[in-house]
Amino acid sequence: METDSAVKAGSARKTNRAWLFVILAGMLEIAWASGLKYQFVPYLLMVPALFLGFDLFIRAAKRIPIGTAYAVFVGIGTVGTIVVESIISHGGVSFLKGGLILLLLLCIIGLKLTSYKGVTE
């Protein structure tokens, strides 16, 4: 019979894996969304990235709060896509846009820190 601490450790590992899935899904979101505009990623790679990203997100959403997971997923995709666009187009980021990106990142971190641990399998 598993001890209570072993059960909690297993649950924590699954939750950490779910957050890793959200981060990876967000990174795939950046790749396919940027690829649509700049076409540096062939369409044959963008479609699997799209499906894999959403598959990872769905897997994560079964383990962590959906609202928080979605906010983090979209936030990573948004910030990453803006950064990629500013690098590729050499356009830079205005002070206002930079401040709003920072605010978005702070909100994502706040959501992550305040997400409850009561989600079950």
Angle between helices 95-114 and 66-88 (to 10 degrees): 150
- Per-residue model confidence as pLDDT tens digits over 8-50: 667 788 889 999 999 999 999 999 888 888 776 677 888 898 9
Which has the minimum average pLDDT: 11-25, 33-47, 69-83, 91-105?
33-47
Burial (0-12, 13-18, 19+ Cβ within 10 Å), 42: exposed
Chain position carrying tokens 């803006």? 82
Closest residue by Cα to residue 118 from 68, 57, 58, 54 = 68
pTM, to two decimals: 0.76
Cα–Cα distance, 31 to 93 (Å, whole number):
19
